[in-house]
Amino acid sequence: MASASGSALAAPTTVRTSVHFTPLRGSSGGAAPSGLLEVDGLTLLLDCGWEPPFDVSVLEPLRGVAARVDAVLLSHGDLAHAGGLAFAFARLGLSCPVYATLPVSRLSKLALYDAHEGVAEQSAAGAPFTLDEIDAALSRVSELKYSQTVLLSGRAAGLSLTPLPAGGSLGGAMWRVSKALEEVDTCFRVLELCLVLEAMWAADRKMQRYGLVLLSHVASATVHLAASQLEWMGAQVVLASAADASHGFAARLLPAVCAAPNALLLFTAPPRPGTIGASLLASPMPPTVSLKTRASRRGRRLVSQEVRVRCRVELLDFSGGADGRALRAVLPRLGASSAVLLGVERDAAEEMKAHLEASAPVGRPLAATVATDGERIDASYRLKLDDKLLASLKLTRVAAYDLAHATGFLRKPRDLRRGVAAVLEPPSSAPAAPAPPAIAHAGGGGGAAAPASFDAAAAALAPAAAPPRPTRRRTTLVSAGPLRLPELRNSLAREGVATELETGALLLGGGIVALTRPEPSELVLAGDFGATFLRARKRTFEHLARI
């Protein structure tokens, strides 16, 4: 097509965004989740879960792809989501930035510390990762706040990440992954349990005769991190990690608890299959269990002992997983055109898939896919520009790109799986509102009869057509590269404007005008309107391109 100056500029009529998701593990629930999200050749690792007994074969799918991972996103701070991080960086070749909220980053370190100490007590070989490897892996974490956007650099330039509140744990996050203007939505329970129990103790005087103890290798650090206070007294109710009693203080106390007829062994999350916790919750419960303990406090030799189960064993699920009702309410609000379901049993996933596709809004179909471990799911989509719309664009050269505004109506295909591109059409091609059908008057007289399919109630509630608005060309400022405040400061200083950098703001003219960057892609110029303000605005615009 022709540019404003008359030179020919080639412009593609179809834009394709390649999006693929591959669950490495945990697609059917019952296992620590981990998956690869690929957006136009850039690869993100969503969580890196690994739980006791820390079977190395579980992480083998990650070994083959670790070298091409551009970033790791952590959603929660427990072993199920971050347990494999230290091992992956130390032994599998993972070498990239890690992003998490501050609580998830700190809790991940505490969870790995606790696992290191607990597994060392239960295994003669010790933990599969060292404390130094934990510190090295967690030192790569960039800690973000909710809704804080970070722009990636290097090979992943053009990709932005934003953590959003997910619930389920302190700092738990679901991630918004954006490239250019396209977005893809990609989500320790002990602290919550402590608060619940503490509230019960405060409300019931009878319960105050007993003490509450949080027993873990990192209990003190965990409590201080959450800014909570607990009274340490003689233990009658004991909270001990790990949650499935496979290692740590829970495993150490298990023989004494199982042998006590008046004791209650309460699991706060469903234990993983194959663990001692799963055996105790089996129906019928076995009369005895085989437990491994150390021969001495500091010894490395493990001995097996048969313990008769005399205590009461119950499960009170505090795992925080979203139920089907919550998912049905939340997922449609995301406005997604495709969804990948994982982390639940196959039958439940198929039921959710059918519901989501059947309840999608008219004109906004949703394609849902039930994930299988190792399966690469293609969620790519294409956008085609209508020929008339393409011919009307006014392209502006910005660095190596030709940019233009395109405003129109998006017409989506009926079947998203067939690879048919959605079409962006000019505003003038929007479908006209249908003429209201005639309605027959009761009591006879003139007037045409209403068609059988006509809904009079719906017609009465239909909004009137809005009057046409005058079109106004929108102007956007685009940076050809990273816009840095020090560069603007040097440019303004050459014009004699007094400048000062202070806590992320550029103060001009003794502070009467301030230029700030609340977000990486946002500039705010505020202050007294005058010569200094106008010069600052002029210099700022010179660093930007208008389209």
Write the pLDDT tens digit of every residue in 151-161.
Answer: 887 777 778 89
Instruction: Provide the residue ranges of all domains of the chain, joining segments of one domain with +.
Output: 14-187, 380-431, 477-546
Whether residue 171 has pLDDT greater than 70 = yes
Least confident of 35-44, 79-88, 240-249: 240-249
Range 10-30 average pLDDT: 72
Give 404-438 pLDDT, tens digit per residue.
Answer: 878 888 777 666 555 567 777 877 665 554 444 44
The CATH superfamily holding the domain 14-187 is: Ribonuclease Z/Hydroxyacylglutathione hydrolase-like (3.60.15.10)
Q: Which residue has the tokens 């198929």?
A: 350
Short-list 89, 76, 86, CA closest to 26: 76
Give 325-350 pLDDT, tens digit per residue.
Answer: 777 777 777 777 788 888 777 888 88
Residue 52, pLDDT score: 84
Q: How confident is the model at residue 15 (pLDDT cuts 50, 70, 90)?
A: low
- b/e per residue 55-87 (b: at least 16 CB within 10 A): eeebbebbeebbeebbbbbbbbbbbbbbbbbbb
**Would the CA dihedral through 49, 52, 56, 60 be positive or negative?**
negative
Beta strands per DSSP E along 248-311: 264-267, 288-294, 302-308
Could you tell me which residues come within 8 angstroms of residue 448 by beta carbon, excluding any fewer than 6 positions away? 438, 440
Range 126-151 average pLDDT: 90
Residue 426, pLDDT score: 79
Range 80-109 average pLDDT: 93
Residue 476, pLDDT score: 64
Higher pLDDT: 438 or 88? It is 88
Range 477-500 average pLDDT: 74
For 519, the 3-state DSSP assignment is strand
Whether residue 2 has pLDDT greater than 50 = no
For 193, the 3-state DSSP assignment is helix
Could you tell me which residues come within 8 angstroms of residue 436 by beta carbon, excluding any fewer than 6 positions away? 459, 462
Range 253-265 average pLDDT: 85
